[in-house]
Structure 1
Amino acid sequence: MTEPGTRPAGFDAPPLRRLRYFHGQMLGARDFQREQDYHREKLKLRLRALLGHGVVCGLLVEPAPGPGDGCPDGPGQPAPADGPPDAEPFEAPDGSGWDGPGRPRRRAVVRITPGLAVDCDGHEVVVRGGCAVDLWKALPPDERDTDTVWVGVQYGERPVEPTRAVYNDGCADTADREFGWTEECYTVRVTGCEPPKDERCDACCSRCEHTVLWLARIDGVRPYEPVRADRIRMDVRRPFGRHVPVVITGVSWRHGHTYTVEEARALLGTHDENGGLLVRFSDGVRADTLRPGVVEIQVIEGGAGRNASTWYMGGAFTEPDGSREFTDRFRYRQTTRETLQDGDRVLISVRAAFLLDRCCRPVDGTNVGGRVPAVAAGTDTSPDTGADTGASPDAGPCALPPSGYGPWTSGTGSGGDVFESWFFVKER
């Protein structure tokens, strides 16, 4: 039996002691501060243990036309330099592109929109009015040799409203003038080094070491050129929750599209041992869970007259090979010689509940609205879906997922389910 006041080994939570009042008690500032700490620690524990952490809403990163002076700098940030000597200056026709004689104005500025997040310690990070960030000014001098930067926010506090004490305790070490309030704020962080990844499977029992909430990765940054919207990648954001599920980020076919018989054979790898349907994940899944029966290809016959007969197409995994423990993709090809005909529908099912990630959790596989984007089967890169948002050209009114930025992925946040997609076949 566990004694009162003890905690299981490895559970990172402070002792929870609340103030007990009694008649004739002498209370000081330290007692009231500890009472505040008790309620704050309870709230933080409840947030990170029961609900999780990450970006709740807003906090999007977008190009900003104005100067980046609206965000709080971190403590000890150095004064901005004039920029690298080989930087190409930018000058507007009216000369407004210059900060002063011989000094071009830095234009690598982005804006963080208002929003709310919870860091891994349970602190609420609130950005009320948004702010502009001069990436070059915020970037540490020893990290300015790269054109890829990461932008994030971090919880902070600062004392405000100085006041004088009515009564000065001669035995205390406090000054006559104190700050009466503590303001909860935030600090913008910009780095040129890829942030470490949180590899914890259970974020409830332990706190993370890195409390910065990273919001975006920006590629091709130059201090004297505006930031292009298509260079801002917000897939580094951690959505709010207990854990981040692995999702399907791309497939090698277009959902609901119509292919010719030859195109369908090429997709299925009918005559190509290195071909087959490609499915990509956001993170690693256990390769030993890619077993027979997880993927199924069903053909629903079409054509004139009576139809809708179905048959199952034989197939096998060709990627990954057996030497890998985890993989972020698989390739599944047809191994039988059945032929497709005009009007057939090829239904592809991936039983995501049987695919387990590094933490033995199921892949979140629901193909919501059939919006998982198509990727080039022979490449390792995501498609250029145009838009700074990653939206599909034919996505219709729901071009973006509910998060407000794209591209779409599978999943509803609950995990498991069956990923379903299909395409049609025509003769010519």
Structure 2
Amino acid sequence: MTEPASETASGPGTGPGTGPGTAHTEGFDEPPLRRLRYFHGQMLGARDFQREQDYYRQKLKLRLRALLGYGVVCGLFVTPVPPDRDDCHDEADGPGADAAPDAAPARDGTPEPTGGPGPDGGEHFRRRPRVRITPGLAVDCDGNEVVVRGGCVVDLWKALPPDERHTDTVWVGVQYGERPVEPTRAVYNDGCADTSDCEFGWTEECYTVKVTGCEPPKDERCDTCRSRCEHTVLWLARIEGIDWHRPVRPDRIHMNVRRPFGRHLPVVITGVNWIHGHTYTVDEAKALLGTQDEDGGLVVRFSDGVRADTLQPGVVEIQVIEGGAGRNASTWYMGGAFAEPTGHEEFTDRFRYRQTTRETLQDGDRVLITVRAAFLLDRCCRPVDGTHVGGRVPTIDAGPHPTAASTGPSGVCVLPPSGVGPWTSGTGAGGDVFESWFFVKER
């Protein structure tokens, strides 16, 4: 009898990185894939067909997770639900009580409270905070497709575990689930069963709404292809400052906690301390560049940590394009250096770059700021996704407040194509160059 090949052996069945001369020797965190082999006269039972289904499901999940990644594909926005004058909330318990039919209860078998807290300890239903999850599609980190077909309404108080109701900040998400449906009576009794009870003939793929008052852990794996994740909930929004006696305010819902669909979550630029395309006075520009102030300088903020040792000379460049009524279009480079980080940190989520020379700006000049994001590496040694799409990276409160009207982008395209703001840099490809500029005038 031939013995199966060892999992550590080199061959077609081994995982990536196991060949000669590589440092990665771990394989896929997946059980062996075995498919049913038919032959004439074979006796097949329910277990054989179930395993055959599992074979194809595991192949599809592995392919989806390894090739494309996971996250929110489309939809699944979290919006507030206004109070309903006739809403008495006497439906069935569970966060899916107002939901679509494919929403499974959040905590099967656990009694739910019948109402929210009132000022006098009573129950107030009509103004209890609720949100709606819109229809959409997502893929969890295990490769399961989570489909919310008709959307659902979530009563935050009922969905929140009782031991977490002391908080005013909650996270809302969805998780893949299954439930048996369509019971039918078997033609033949099971040889190991005492009675001929009905069996469920189908398994319906559904979802479960999850609400928690504890900040969910982040997926910090650099390689999401070969290893399974520990947390399969897809978090959609963080809701802050909840008043348990009033409806949720739209400005309290932050959907930037959701993970976009992809193999990894790139680090992007989330804010700068100048307004792109704005016109500053000469004094404002000096304060912004840190010309005479060691605490000044251009500040760039990232969505996550980047390696501080990649902030090398040449990564950031300030170029001045001369304007004015006289000679113009000449360019010169303004000398500068990193003031932050100071060199003691391994990772940083921001840097400050200030002018170190005494060149002066004049009326009509344009200051061009370039950040070569392809040379900035994150914790997984991937480049920062730095494309400044539309010049819409928002301003952070780290510099002088402008006094003149902004000449930056207009009010159109307030949100990026994903529908979730605020804008950041990046197109999903990674690397590229972040460019921005502002203009200078005398007064």
Give the TM-score normalised by structure 2.
Answer: 0.87
Cα distance, 1:82 vs structure 2: 4.2
Cα distance, 1:83 vs structure 2: 3.9
Distance, in Å, in 2 between the alignment partners of 1:6 and 1:125 is: 30
- Residue of structure 2 equivalent to 1:153: 174
Identity %: 80
Q: Secondary structure at the match of 2:141?
A: coil
Report if aligned partners of 2:335, 2:356 keep a CA contact under 8 Å in 1: yes
Q: Secondary structure at the match of 2:361?
A: coil
- Residue of structure 1 equivalent to 2:380: 359
Quick one: which amino acid aligns to residue 69 of structure 2? G
Match of 2:255 among 215, 234, 246: 234
Structure 2 spans left out of the alignment, 5+ residues: 1-8, 19-25, 90-94, 401-406
Match of 1:16 among 26, 33, 38: 33
Quick one: which amino acid aligns to residue 60 of structure 2? L
Structure 1 spans left out of the alignment, 5+ residues: 90-100, 380-391
Report if aligned partners of 1:57, 1:116 keep a CA contact under 8 Å in 2: yes
Match of 2:287 among 240, 249, 266: 266
User: Deviation digits for residues 316-338 of structure 1, max 9, x if unmatched?
Assistant: 11111111111100000011000
Report if aligned partners of 1:5, 1:15 keep a CA contact under 8 Å in 2: no
Cα distance, 1:22 vs structure 2: 1.2
Q: Secondary structure at the match of 1:266?
A: helix
Cα distance, 1:104 vs structure 2: 5.0
Report if aligned partners of 2:115, 2:158 keep a CA contact under 8 Å in 1: no
Distance, in Å, in 1 between the alignment partners of 2:315 and 2:67 is: 32
Distance, in Å, in 2 between the alignment partners of 1:231 and 1:254 is: 25
Cα distance, 1:175 vs structure 2: 4.7
Structure 1 residue 117 corresponds to structure 2 residue 138: yes
Cα distance, 1:395 vs structure 2: 3.7
Distance 1:272 1:377, change over 3 A: same
Aligned length: 404
Report if aligned partners of 2:392, 2:409 keep a CA contact under 8 Å in 1: no
Structure 1 residue 222 corresponds to structure 2 residue 243: yes
Report if aligned partners of 1:371, 1:395 keep a CA contact under 8 Å in 2: no
- Residue of structure 2 equivalent to 1:275: 296
- Residue of structure 2 equivalent to 1:78: 111
Cα distance, 1:394 vs structure 2: 5.2
- Residue of structure 2 equivalent to 1:350: 371
- Residue of structure 1 equivalent to 2:356: 335
Quick one: which amino acid aligns to residue 155 of structure 2? D
Distance, in Å, in 2 between the alignment partners of 1:293 and 1:398 is: 33
Match of 2:342 among 302, 321, 326: 321
User: Deviation digits for residues 113-163 of structure 1, max 9, x if unmatched?
Assistant: 000000000000000000000000000000001100000000000000000
Q: Secondary structure at the match of 1:282?
A: strand
Match of 1:401 among 416, 421, 435: 416
Coordinate RMSD, CA, aligned: 2.1
Distance 1:399 1:173, change over 3 A: farther
- Residue of structure 2 equivalent to 1:285: 306
Distance, in Å, in 2 between the alignment partners of 1:36 and 1:180 is: 14
Q: Secondary structure at the match of 1:263?
A: helix
- Residue of structure 2 equivalent to 1:53: 70
Cα distance, 1:169 vs structure 2: 3.2
Structure 1 residue 207 corresponds to structure 2 residue 235: no
Distance, in Å, in 2 between the alignment partners of 1:118 and 1:297 is: 42
Quick one: which amino acid aligns to residue 55 of structure 1? V
Cα distance, 1:306 vs structure 2: 3.5
Report if aligned partners of 1:78, 1:140 keep a CA contact under 8 Å in 2: no
Report if aligned partners of 1:320, 1:327 keep a CA contact under 8 Å in 2: yes
Report if aligned partners of 1:77, 1:140 keep a CA contact under 8 Å in 2: no
Quick one: which amino acid aligns to residue 247 of structure 1? V
The 10-residue stretch of structure 1 (238-247 or 169-178) with the greater mean CA deviation from structure 2: 169-178
Match of 2:162 among 116, 141, 156: 141
Give the TM-score normalised by structure 1.
Answer: 0.90
Distance, in Å, in 2 between the alignment partners of 1:183 and 1:174 is: 25
Cα distance, 1:78 vs structure 2: 3.0
